[in-house]
Amino acid sequence: MARILVALSGGVDSAAAAALLTEQGHEVVAAYMKNWVNDENIPGECPWERDIEDALAVCRKLGIEFRVVDLIEQYRARVVEYLIEGYRSGSTPNPDVLCNREMKFGVLLDYALQQGFTGGVATGHYARRLDVEGDGSYVLRGADSNKDQSYFLALMRPEQVAHAVFPVGELTKPRVREIARRFGLPVADKKDSQGICFIGKVKMSDFLRHYLPDNPGDIVDTDGRVLGRHNGLHLFTMGQRHGHGVASPREGVAYVVVGKDLQNNRLIVGYEGRETPGLYARSAVVGGIANLRRPLPERVYAQPRYRAPAVPAACTHLSADTVRLEFDEPVRALALGQVCAFYAPERQLLGGGFFTEIGH
C-alpha cells in the first residue's frame, strides 16, 4: 500500500477518488489547492470557501487528514499570467490544461514528494494510467467516453504521469455518484463545477476585462466590408456563432468568427460552411510539444479542443518539439494557441502542444 496525496477539490469526483483509495488500504491524505481568491471584485462567484467546507466534510466522513495548500502566488505566475498574455497576443490559451501540468502535477506533486507521498498525487480525472514495464507510464482515455478528460492531461511530462493516480478512470459518472452515496459523502449529489480552472463561475469576458482594457475595432466580412464594431479581439473565439452582434443577413444563415486581423484590429466573420475562407483548416503546425512517447508516429489522431472529435492526420516532425499536421478532412475553427492533443488508435494519449500556424 502507498502513501498518496489526493487533490480534493470539494467535488464528487475527487471525493470518490479519496474514498476508493482509502477502501483499498492506502494511506491517504487530502489537500485542497487554494489557487485563487476573488479579492479584486471580478463579477462572478468564487466558491472556494464552500469548496473547502465540502472537502473538509468529506475528510471527516472518511477519517483522513485534510490540508489546505496555499498556491495562490504560483497559480498567478504559472496560469493566470499565461492566460492574460495569451489573449493579449491574440491567441486562445487553455488554462485548464496548463493548470494540470503546472499546478496539480507540478507544484502540488513537488509538495507531495517532499512530504513523503511516494504514491504520488491522485485526482478525480476521468483518465487511466498504463504502466509498461521497461517503457514508462502512459495516459489512456477514461473508460466513460462521455466524461473522458485525458485531453486536459496532454501537456504532462512523463515523470509527472509516473506519479499520477486516477482512481475513477475506469468508472462512469453515474457509478462515481453511486460510490459517493455508498460512502455517505456529503458531495454525492453536488453539481459539477463550471468556469475557469480553480477560479469558479466567472465569465471569461468579465475576467479578461479586469486585466485587458476594451480595444474597439471594426467587424468585417471576408470581403472587408464593415458590418459592425467589437470591443476587443480577445473577447472572441474562432467559430463563435453568437455574441458578436452581427445580425444574420437572412433566415437560416448566420455569421461566425473566421479570423482576427491583429494588425488592423478587425474581427472577421463569414458564413458557416467549408467554403468560407478561414473557417476550416487543412493543415497546422503544433509547437511546444510535450511527448509521452518519442517520437510521435507518422499517423496520429489530433484532438484540437475538449469535446471535439480526434481526427486522423499525417504527422511530420519539423524539430524536436514541433510537428506539421495534414488532416485527412478539413477541421473547423482552429485557433492559434489552442492545445492539440495527440492520440494513438488504441486510445492512448501520446502528448500535446500548441497550434502555432494554421493552414487553410
Q: Which of 46, 197, 315, 340 is catalytic?
A: 197
Which is nearest to 123 in space by CA: 9, 3, 1, 14? 14
The strand pair at 348-359 and 266-271 is best described as: unpaired
**What are the strands of the beta sheet with 3-7, ordered from one edge?**
65-70, 27-34, 3-7, 121-122, 164-165
* 329: enclosing H helix or E strand: strand 322-332
Q: Which of 46, 59, 99, 315 is catalytic?
A: 99
Collapsing DSSP to helix, strand or coil, 115 comes out as coil
Active site residue 340: no
Which is nearest to 61 in space by CA: 124, 95, 117, 16? 16
Question: How would you class 157 by CB atoms within 10 Å of its CB: exposed for 0-12, middle for 13-18, buried for 19 or more?
Answer: middle
Active site residue 99: yes
Q: What span, in angstroms and rounded, lies between the C-alpha atoms of 301 and 329?
A: 12
Which is nearest to 68 in space by CA: 46, 51, 80, 81? 51
Q: Rounded to whole angstroms, what are the CA distances from 15 to 22, 142, 254, 347? A: 11, 17, 43, 26
Active site (catalytic) residues? 99, 197
